[in-house]
Amino acid sequence: MDLQEIIDDIHRALQPRLGEGKVADYIPQLAHVDPRKFGMAIIDLDGRIYKAGDCDEPFSIQSVSKVFTLTLALGKHGETTWNRVGREPSGSAFNSIVQLEHESGKPRNPFINAGAIAVSDLVLAGHTPKEAIAEIVRFVQYLADDPSITIDPEVARSETATGFRNFALANFMKSFGRLEHPVEHVLGVYFHQCALAMTCTQLARSGLFLAANGKNPLTGHTVVSSQRARRINALMLTCGHYDGSGDFAYHVGLPGKSGVGGGILAVAPGRASVAVWSPGLNDNGNSLIGSLALEMLANRTGWSVFGAPAA
């Protein structure tokens, strides 16, 4: 199986459709991104890299960062993390407040906005906001083995200035006693983690530990236990695409986490880590062309957690 040929074919096939979908213009800084951008990178467990398109151009990873902050929170708090946030698919929009009211301010899962805000509160424990943000950046740099990864300050400012719904979610949770730190501190951490800027190549490298039972095969470092890696993958599969998670599982069949910057991190356990970027979003807030690219990749490779590829 020639992965470079496959990824090049996918890029060629999708070329006429680049620009489809709607860029996340409710975050002003993201409204300026060229909707025709497309990048894709695959890194296998032996460290071989396969690239196509704008795979080495940094973009705002937004909610893809929630995978990394959840991993940090689990490292700090273990299974008590789930006292603060659930593990069930939401079936609602990523920024919905409806379920919070029905469920006493406890978010459904760590990948919707309310859940990620609760996780940011956990990561903040024992730190100032600046220290927590620095810890998140260092952790992602460690995962990617790349100290050049940083936060885009313009995106962070843009989110802080316009994140009224996230302020509402955080204040609502605070009213139920679900946040331990001041709302402004928690949201400072949350907005900055979402403003991480990474390339597809860096993002694929960062997710490689989830494809390799919790160990980074390129550095030899154990990031999490194999059991924890499986559980993070399970949450990515069931909750990683908001109320489009079932559709993504049906069409792609791999754990994945999307972000409104147009990025998706997908994991083929035991095989590879994949990152794709295309800024135009579908109605669920997931990359339209990125999702199609991953579906084409799954079809061509046979990669799926639901069955082995045909011999």
CA distance 17 to 36: 8
Burial profile 162-181: b = 16 or more Cβ within 10 angstroms, e = fewer: ebeebeebbebbbeeebbeb
Q: Provide CB contacts within 8 A for 95, sequence distance 6+.
A: 112, 113, 165, 166, 169
**Residue 67 a catalytic site member:** no
270, 275, 276, 277: CA torsion to nearest 10 = 160
Given the residues 37, 51, 66, 257, select the one marked as catalytic.
66
Residue 8 CB neighbours (<10 A): 16
Residue written as tokens 């490779």?
A: 301
Distance CA(259)–CA(296), nearest Å, equals: 20
Q: How far apart are CA 274 and CA 201, in angstroms?
A: 9
Q: With contact defined as beta carbons under 8 Å apart, do 199 and 64 qualify? A: no
> Which residue type, as a one-letter code, is found at position 203?
L
Name the CA radius of gyration of the chain, rounded.
18
Catalytic residue among 33, 50, 51, 63: 63
Name the catalytic one among 33, 65, 242, 287: 242
Q: Which amino acid is at 40?
A: M
Asked about 242 being catalytic, the answer comes back as yes
Check if 260 is active-site. yes
Distances (CA, A) of 256 to 46, 74, 82, 100, 146: 21, 19, 20, 24, 22
* ∠ CA 239-212-149, rounded to 5°: 75
Distance of CA 83 to CAs 72, 101, 106, 142, Å? Answer: 16, 17, 9, 28
CB contact at 8 A, 266 and 274: yes
Active-site residue (options: 106, 186, 190, 273): 190
Which residue of the set 23, 85, 186, 260 is catalytic? 260
Which residue, among 302, 292, 300, 266, has the nearest Cα to 41 in the 3D structure? 266
63 among known catalytic residues: yes
What are the catalytic residues? 63, 66, 190, 242, 260
